[in-house]
């Protein structure tokens, strides 16, 4: 198989590339524009002749068509994120919706055997019922969520209209090694950990009762791979998550429990625009169709992330300075 992974130098994408490379049979093209993805995330594959890294902006239709030639399967993870969408919805639409359309049309021309669209739980918005199964009505609260839903609708329409073998995966709140801590790309777990390592306040926007279904990246990647190999899910959508509801306030305490030497305290600030209030996934379909079972509980996952960060070459003090500087961009 020749597999294209868009956004392959990003957080989830690079972990997916690691998993695919372990098969030792497939050829992998890592495509990224490096706006948020990092070359160092895939540097470990530099000597692997089966892994090729290519710079690609999926807004460029001709470049997409060129890189798709001869490809058998696509895992589409290239994305612009939630916070960017608040300040620049046009950019996020162009990447997440129009870029997806470019990939789908090229995939159709190349007779792709499988197209896995990595969507987001953000398409649901705030839960109106829990746990949230795949039939939960979509009600995105941000332009990001809207753009990801648009990409989903395009993907499934290509299945219905042209028979393109598309599968839509909705991951929930993935965290773990290589996750962004800085600026608009930063997510809550790495931000909390970096701040706790520096005895800085753990900032919660709102009262902290908002919940998420935090899913360790190895579980998310395993779910993506399983979905990409499941014929029964072609033309369908599936949640990949831990299946556990955790409040942001509880998460902050878990981080402090994991780093008992930290002198950090929890600090509350005004709620952010577009934040969902409740996410809690129903993963019945993933269990039934894929045999998927999440393996990493939140406390273990946070500890794994802290251990990874300590083994890495990151300087926590420099990370905090960078996070504070970019937090206002």
Whole-number pLDDT of residue 328: 38
CA–CA dist 221, 178 (Å, integer):
13
The DSSP code sequence of 79-139 is ---HHHHHH-HHHHHIIIIIHHHHHHHHHHHTT-SEEEEE--GGGT-S-SSSSB-TTSPP-
Compute the average pLDDT of residues 215-224: 98
| CATH fold group of domain 175-213+244-280+296-326 | UDP-galactose 4-epimerase; domain 1 (3.90.25)
Compute the average pLDDT of residues 129-144: 97
- Whole-model pTM: value is 0.95
Highest mean pLDDT among 20-29, 182-191, 320-329: 20-29
Compute the average pLDDT of residues 80-85: 91
Q: What 3-state DSSP class applies to 36?
A: coil
- Are the C-beta atoms of residues 71 and 29 closer than 8 Å to each other? yes
All structural domains of the chain with their residue ranges = 2-174+217-240, 175-213+244-280+296-326
Please measure the distance between the N-terminal and C-terminal CA atoms of the chain and give it in whole angstroms.
Answer: 41
**70, 71, 138, 65: which is closest to 99 by C-alpha?**
65
Whole-number pLDDT of residue 183: 57
Structure token digits, residue 84: 């960017």
Q: Name the architecture of domain 2-174+217-240.
A: 3-Layer(aba) Sandwich (3.40)
**Which residues participate in catalysis according to the annotation?**
144
Whole-number pLDDT of residue 317: 76
Within 13 Å of residue 140, how many CA atoms lie on the same side as its CB?
Answer: 19
Whole-number pLDDT of residue 142: 94
Q: What is the pLDDT of residues 258-287, one digit of tens each?
A: 999 999 999 999 998 889 999 999 999 999
């Amino acid at each position: 198989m020749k597999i294209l992974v868009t956004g392959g130098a990003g957080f989830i994408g690079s972990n997916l590339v690691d998993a695919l490379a372990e098969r030792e049979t497939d050829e992998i093209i890592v495509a990224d524009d490096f706006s948020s993805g990092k070359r160092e995330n895939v540097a470990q594959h530099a000597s692997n002749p089966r892994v090729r890294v290519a710079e690609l902006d999926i807004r460029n239709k001709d470049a997409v068509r060129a890189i798709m030639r001869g490809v058998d399967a696509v895992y589409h993870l290239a994305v612009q994120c939630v916070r960017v969408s608040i300040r620049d919805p046009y950019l996020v639409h162009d990447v997440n919706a129009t870029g997806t359309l470019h990939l789908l049309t090229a995939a159709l021309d190349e007779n792709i055997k499988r197209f896995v669209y990595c969507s987001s739980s953000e398409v649901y918005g705030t839960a109106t019922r829990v746990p949230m199964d795949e039939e939960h009505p979509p009600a995105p609260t941000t332009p990001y969520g809207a753009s990801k839903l648009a990409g989903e609708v395009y993907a499934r329409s290509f299945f219905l209209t042209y028979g393109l073998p598309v599968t839509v995966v909705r991951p929930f709140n993935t965290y773990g090694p290589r996750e962004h801590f800085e600026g608009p790309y930063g997510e809550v777990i790495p931000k909390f950990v970096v701040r706790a390592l520096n005895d800085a306040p753990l900032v919660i926007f709102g009262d902290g009762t908002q919940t998420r279904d935090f899913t360790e990246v190895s579980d998310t990647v395993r779910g993506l791979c399983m979905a990409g190999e499941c014929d029964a899910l072609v033309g369908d959508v599936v949640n990949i998550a831990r299946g556990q509801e955790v409040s942001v306030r509880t998460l902050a305490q878990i981080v402090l429990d994991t780093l008992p030497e930290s002198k950090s305290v929890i600090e509350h600030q005004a709620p952010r625009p577009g934040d969902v209030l409740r996410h809690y996934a129903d993963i019945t379909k993933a269990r039934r169709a894929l045999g998927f079972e999440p393996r990493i509980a939140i406390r273990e996952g946070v500890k794994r992330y802290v251990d990874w960060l300590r083994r890495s070459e990151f300087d926590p003090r420099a990370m905090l300075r960078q996070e504070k500087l970019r937090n206002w961009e």
